[in-house]
């Protein structure tokens, strides 16, 4: 007579805490790189084929609970944002993303469902820009944080560093200005419930301009993203290239969401940060061809100013008046207001 059946191993429930071994086993089963990678997922490293004629562009970024997201932020939205902010840095060099590494730092007892949601969101965002999530790490930490590192490929002669803007160049941006600031305003004023959930998703809605960056890099002398807002990006470009960057207020493609804010709040949101567009300096006469190239991948390019001799970043208008570019609204290491404060 057969003996009693062996006890079944319980499946992890949504409330189960992160356990490194079982979580890594889930990764190997769930991610495409675990089934098709040159090295198995969970090995000491990942292997990626290098395209002929390309150089590696490598970038890393991090999102920290309480600074970039909140405890009730949807985990998949956090994962998408983690991958997308690194992809935005690659886009600013005209690079094609290839492989993403993701490190999850979580307090003991963090629900495994949270870690799985973050991972799924990151993998989907990576896949959307042509990359794969190929590995990473999991470690205990006092607060939740995600570190994303991206490997991308680019032609070495089209990297568009920040240092090459020249007097006479045209200043351009993709997309709109102020979308991140508008999302921050909505989060600060959202009541509990569905509106707050939508606001939590919106503040993490990063849209890396990878196709636009690859097209724009063929025309740009210098390029960077506007993760910290148009004002900070203009200052960084001016300092790196040792030029004056003049932004024409009337030319800015203001995001439609800003028009629904009180005027003073709208002006603050304009330079707040979190736009993740591309800011570039083009040689004189290059704008028409660059704009056509960006339109060819469904993007939008707007001339918003110019590069002059001198120093600093300037906001011009209304009229001929000019003043120093206002500071951005959010300073993680300073006194700026966080998106939810």
pLDDT above 90 (res 42): no
**Per-residue model confidence (pLDDT) at position 2:** 39
Peptide bond into 318 cis (omega under 30): yes
Burial of residue 3 (CB within 10 Å: 0-12, 13-18, 19+) is exposed
What angle separates helix 75-91 from helix 112-128, to the nearest 10 degrees?
Answer: 30
302 vs 334: which has the higher pLDDT: 302
Question: Would you call 78 helix, strand, or coil by DSSP?
Answer: helix
pLDDT above 70 (res 64): yes
In the chain the domains, ranked by start, together with CATH numbers, are: 20-34+52-156 (3.30.1330.10), 160-324 (3.90.650.10)
| Residue 110, CA distances (Å) to 26, 137, 138 in order | 16, 15, 12
pLDDT above 90 (res 43): no
Given pLDDT bands bounded at 50, 70 and 90, which one contains residue 327?
A: confident
56 vs 12: which has the higher pLDDT: 56
**Nearest-angstrom CA–CA distance, 243 and 306:** 10
pLDDT above 50 (res 13): no
Q: Express as a percent the part of the chain with pLDDT over 90.
A: 77
**Per-residue model confidence (pLDDT) at position 33:** 67
**Nearest-angstrom CA–CA distance, 218 and 85:** 22
Mean pLDDT (whole number) for 155-171: 96
18 vs 150: which has the higher pLDDT: 150
pLDDT above 60 (res 1): no
**Nearest-angstrom CA–CA distance, 244 and 39:** 48
Mean pLDDT (whole number) for 111-118: 95
Q: What is the edge-to-edge ordering of all strands in the sheet holding 170-174?
A: 222-225, 278-282, 170-174, 301-308, 244-248, 312-316, 322-324
Cα angle vertex 81, ends 77, 85, to 5°? Answer: 175
**Which segment of 37-51, 67-81, 109-123 scores lowest on mean pLDDT?**
37-51
Given pLDDT bands bounded at 50, 70 and 90, which one contains residue 37?
A: low
**Per-residue model confidence (pLDDT) at position 314:** 97
Beta strand pairing call for 301-308 and 322-324: unpaired
Given pLDDT bands bounded at 50, 70 and 90, which one contains residue 264?
A: confident
Given pLDDT bands bounded at 50, 70 and 90, which one contains residue 245?
A: very high
pLDDT above 50 (res 135): yes
pLDDT above 90 (res 23): no
Mean pLDDT (whole number) for 277-293: 97
**Per-residue model confidence (pLDDT) at position 336:** 65
**Per-residue model confidence (pLDDT) at position 3:** 41
Given pLDDT bands bounded at 50, 70 and 90, which one contains residue 183?
A: very high
pTM for the full predicted model:
0.90
Burial annotation 134-166 (CB, 10 A radius, 16+ → b, else e) = bbbebeebeebbbbbbbbbbbbeebbbebebbe
Instruction: Tell me phi and psi for residue 104, to 5 degrees.
Output: -105, 120
**Per-residue model confidence (pLDDT) at position 340:** 66
Q: Where are the alpha helices (DSSP H) in 190-286?
A: 194-203, 210-216, 230-241, 263-270
Mean pLDDT (whole number) for 287-316: 98
**Per-residue model confidence (pLDDT) at position 36:** 63
Given pLDDT bands bounded at 50, 70 and 90, which one contains residue 8?
A: very low
């Amino acid at each position: 007579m057969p003996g009693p059946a062996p006890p079944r191993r319980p499946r992890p429930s949504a409330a189960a805490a992160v356990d490194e071994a079982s979580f890594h086993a889930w990764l190997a089963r769930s991610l495409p790189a675990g089934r098709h990678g040159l090295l198995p997922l969970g090995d000491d490293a990942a292997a990626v084929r290098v395209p002929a004629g390309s150089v590696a562009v490598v970038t890393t970024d991090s999102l920290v609970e309480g600074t970039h997201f909140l405890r009730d932020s949807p985990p998949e939205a956090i994962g998408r944002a983690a991958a997308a902010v690194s992809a935005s840095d690659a886009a600013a060099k005209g690079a094609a993303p290839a492989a993403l590494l993701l490190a999850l730092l979580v307090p003991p007892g963090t629900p495994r469902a949270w870690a799985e949601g973050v991972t799924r969101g990151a993998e989907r965002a990576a896949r959307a820009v042509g990359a794969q999530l190929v590995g990473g790490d999991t470690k205990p930490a006092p607060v939740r944080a995600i570190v994303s590192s991206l490997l991308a490929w680019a032609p070495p002669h089209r990297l568009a560093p920040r240092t090459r803007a020249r007097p006479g160049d045209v200043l351009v941006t993709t997309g709109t200005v102020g979308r991140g600031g508008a999302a921050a305003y909505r989060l600060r004023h959202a009541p509990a419930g569905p509106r707050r959930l939508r606001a939590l998703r919106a503040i993490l809605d990063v849209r890396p301009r990878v196709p636009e960056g690859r097209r724009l890099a063929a025309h740009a002398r210098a390029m960077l993203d506007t993760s910290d807002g148009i004002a900070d990006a203009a200052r960084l470009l001016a300092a790196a290239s040792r030029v004056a960057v003049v932004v024409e207020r009337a030319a800015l493609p203001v995001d439609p969401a800003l028009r629904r804010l009180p005027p003073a709040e709208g002006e603050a949101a304009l330079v707040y940060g979190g736009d993740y567009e591309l800011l570039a300096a083009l040689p004189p006469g290059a704008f028409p061809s660059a704009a056509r190239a960006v339109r060819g991948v469904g993007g939008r390019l707007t001339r918003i100013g110019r590069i002059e001799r001198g120093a600093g970043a300037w906001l011009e208008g209304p009229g001929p008046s000019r003043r120093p570019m206002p500071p951005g609204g959010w300073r993680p290491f300073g006194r700026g207001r966080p998106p939810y404060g």
